[in-house]
Amino acid sequence: MGRPGLALGTAGKIRVHATPSGHRAVAWYRDYDGRCRQVERHATSKAAAQAALRLALRDRARFDVGGEISPNTRVNVLAEAWFAGLKNLSPTTMQAYRNRLDQQVLPGLGNLRVRELTVGTLERHLRLIADKHGPAMAKMTKSVLSGVCGLAARHDALERNPVRDTGGIQASVKKAPMALTADEARQLLTGLDADVAAGKADVPDLVAFMLATGCRIGEAAAVTWDALDLDAGTVEITSTIVRVAGQGLVRKGTKTASGSRTLLLPPWCMERLRSRASCVGRSKGGARHEEPVFPAPLGGWRDPSNTQSDLRAAFHNVGFGHITSHVLRKTTATVLDHAGLSARAIADQLGHANPSLTQDVYLGRQVASTGAAVALEALRPSVPGHDRDEGRR
């Protein structure tokens, strides 16, 4: 009866032979394709040759000979393979992952071998990112690293995903949500209407629209004239503007079904929009339906990032330098909450995920008749600003 063969992923006896330059350690190893291959390592001493061969056999035990990724693969190659395999993600998510690879993962870990991605190495790297860039950046980097290491584990280049064994990243203490009162919101709108610089940047109407709807900057920038029904007083929120590397500004659909919504607007906001429509009609010979309601100062889609800068400057000029654009969205939600609207109604207005599965499945909400338009009438500026129509001529 013959000697039994080697099991998959195991090696035979190590033999050491003297050579003119030192020693050569040799052993047969049965790879995961079923073939036996001779593995050898050279060193100046017998012990060193044996140790080098044992290390090689250890790493080879995690190597899938049929794959392109092995323990010896560089992390930068592994990371690019992972990114290339991502499918069905939004452009903003893809860009966020690309940024984390280029700015955190590849500079710090790209030259390592896959086998060197230990729990300790990853832990130290994530802690460094958290200290330097904050917990939020570290958490996203951890998510990216988990995907990268998961790909290596599926190729048997790692025994398991080491990211899962790293410690949790402690988030900073969250501040209470900041929102303006109705009086402060009215003061803000009045101040913006009277500010020449804000008018040149076309900020007042945009801020008014965001307060009246609770829209994000990207959603407001994506609204076109055909999405507005000036007679019914509604607006369809179906898209957002994002900047994609290599493509520029892109108008894409909302990320979730709940984000696509039709909202009733308060009368004071409709007055502004009708005035804006008549102004566009006089100066441009009529606006095309597909044109943005709030275009960039030089025309075309408005860049959300540049608009953030415009808003910061405008807020500072009128004495509201302590707020950000997201405070507008929180203000809308707070006004609706104080008016007694339900969480369901507020979620409909803001385009958030539904509060419960029952409401999600059984409520057909083609138009969000939440009572928001009536409640948001409280934000009507108490003091009329200067003649904005004259400023646009």
Over residues 113-134, the pLDDT tens digits come to 999 999 999 999 999 999 999 9
Of 57, 54, 46, 50, the C-alpha closest to 22 is 46
pLDDT of residue 234: 93
Pick the more confident residue, 80 or 359.
80
Four-point Cα dihedral 119, 121, 123, 124, nearest 10: 160
pLDDT of residue 383: 60
Domain holding 56, by residue range, is: 15-60
Whether residues 131 and 192 fall in one domain: no
Number of domains into which the chain is organized: 3
Whether residues 268 and 316 fall in one domain: yes
What CA–CA distances, in Å, run from 204 to 82, 177, 315, 379, 386?
44, 23, 10, 13, 11
What DSSP character marks residue 302?
A: P
Task: Give the mean model confidence (pLDDT) for residues 4-32.
Answer: 87
The CATH number of whichever domain residue 335 belongs to comes to 1.10.443.10
Please list the alpha-helical segments (H only) found in 69-134: 75-84, 91-100, 106-109, 119-133
Q: Which helix (H) or strand (E) holds 261?
A: strand 261-264
Whether residues 386 and 311 fall in one domain: yes
Q: Are 57 and 46 in contact (CB under 8 A)?
A: no
* 364 lies in some domain: yes
| pLDDT grade for 358, boundaries at 50, 70 and 90 | very low
Sign of CA dihedral 260, 262, 263, 265: positive
Sign of CA dihedral 370, 375, 377, 381: negative
The structure's pTM equals 0.63
Whether residues 318 and 214 fall in one domain: yes
| The 36-43 sheet, strands edge to edge | 15-19, 22-30, 36-43
* 113 lies in some domain: yes
Q: Are 144 and 125 in contact (CB under 8 A)?
A: no
pLDDT reading at 284 higher than 70 = no
Whether residues 160 and 207 fall in one domain: no
* 207 lies in some domain: yes
Whether residues 132 and 259 fall in one domain: no
Q: How many helices (H) and strands (E) does the chain have?
A: 17, 8
Ramachandran angles phi, psi of 17, nearest 5°: -125, 140
Whether residues 284 and 317 fall in one domain: yes
The tokens describing 233, both together, are: 């007083």
pLDDT of residue 166: 92
**At a CB cut-off of 8 Å and minimum separation 6, what does 194 contact?**
318, 385, 386
pLDDT of residue 176: 59
Of 388, 266, 288, the C-alpha closest to 339 is 266
The CATH number of whichever domain residue 117 belongs to comes to 1.10.150.130
Over residues 86-113, the pLDDT tens digits come to 987 877 888 899 999 999 999 999 999 9
